[in-house]
Structure formats: C-alpha cells, structure tokens
Amino acid sequence: MACLIQQGTPFVLRQRENVKSDFSRGEKLSSKDHIISYDKPKKKPVWMTQEAYDELPDEIKIREFSVNGTVYVTTLLDAKTYHKNELAKLYKERWKVELDFRSIKTHMGMEMLRCKSANMVEKEVAAHLLAYNLIRSNMANAANQNGVKPREISFMAAVNLMRSIVEKTVALTSEALEKWVEKILNAIAYTKTGGRKRKSQPRVMKRRPKAYPLMTKPRDEYAK
C-alpha cells in the first residue's frame, strides 16, 4: 500500500478476511466508513531493499468502509467525492480485467509463446497486443455507430469475424474496402453477448493429457 501511495497510484482493495475491522476507531466519515492509520512494520519485507524501506513513511492513512457486509480499503479518502457504494462498484469492475487477459491469452492464442530469444518474445507479445487493440478499436467503432455498449459485444465473435473476412478483403482496393467497413462494423455490433446467465462452471480439465513425461531439457538433448 505504501509503495502505491508513494508512486501516486490510488487503489481500492478488498480487506483480508482474517482482518477484523473496528469502525469505532479513527476518523468517522459515515456508517461503517472511517479513516485509520497503518504503522510502518518494524521488520523489512524480504523482497524490498533497505534503501526503499527507509524511504517509506512511518505511517499511512487508509480509508476503510463496508458495503453489503464486504469491507474494502482505499486511498481515496474524500467520502463526498468518492462515495463508498461507487467505490464498491469500481472494485467489481476488476473482473473485466481478468476477462481481457483471458481474451488475449486464450482467444488470441498468446497462452503459449513460441519464440526463444527475449527480443523475439517481446515482439511476439507486441504483435498480439497490437492485434488485440485493433479488434477492440473496431468493436468500439461498431458499438458507437449502432448505439450499443462495447462490453455488450462478443470479443470472440469479433475475432472469428475478422479472421473470416481477411482473405476476402486483402485484395480489395481502398475504395472497395471502404464500402465493406460499414458492413463489417454492423456485423460486429450484431454479435452481442451481454446479459447471459449460466451456472457456475467447474475449473477442471475436460480432456486428459497423454501419459508422457514432461520435457525437462532442450529437445536437441533428447535426440542424441
């Protein structure tokens, strides 16, 4: 927390379950909403250098609040500007970040990087992010033109659509391609995904891996 405050990054976190919050302490802002102080630990964390530890303040001020039984922690101390209910909604938005990571890794095939050198791996990641941003940009344009929210559009459907039209549009002239753009954006906007409800899915593997040992050394050494 102190490191984030030091670099000027505000945050909203969920309080650890093993911490019991006492809202009778500190500066009361409203019901189950107060500002308290955290003292600097006497023992330096093993992952931090002594110099970085010495630069941290002796104490930090943290806002702690509860919404629907869940306790949150934030550095946004102004209760009038940042209402606790809005901050709780903001915290729940974090799941969209996880979904975006899944889209990049799974839907776009970046789950397994194939390059060997660090330089080529960086280029491989950059290429995936470039393609991802281009698709998201087209989804945003499609949503804007058709009066829908970008998050209501299926990312996977947009990816499949873009893949299916690449071969058809690669040989088109700029004038012909311009006529296609509006149709493509309308098709992207049509693939809505918002509001779906389904039961919680188990985090298990459907297909069993083959009974081979793991590769623990370079492939060339196996061929000797």
> Taking the complete model, does pTM exceed 0.85, yes or no?
no
Tokens of 173: 């002239």
Q: Which of 16, 31, 160 is nearest to 83 (CA)?
A: 31
One-letter identity of residue 199: K
Alpha helices (H) in the chain, listed in sequence order: 2-6, 50-55, 84-92, 94-102, 118-146, 155-169, 174-190, 219-222
- The packing angle between helices 118-146 and 155-169, to 10°, is 100
Q: How far apart are CA 136 and CA 74, in angstroms?
A: 30
Query: At a CB cut-off of 8 Å and minimum separation 6, what does 162 contact?
Result: 135, 138
Tokens of 13: 């976190």
Domain ranges, ordered by start, for the chain: 2-92, 96-190
* pLDDT by position in tens, the chain (length 224): 999 999 999 999 999 888 888 999 999 999 999 999 999 988 998 999 999 999 999 999 999 999 999 999 999 999 999 999 999 999 988 888 888 888 888 888 888 888 889 999 999 999 999 999 998 998 999 999 888 888 888 888 888 888 887 777 777 777 777 778 888 888 888 877 755 566 777 778 788 778 888 888 888 888 77
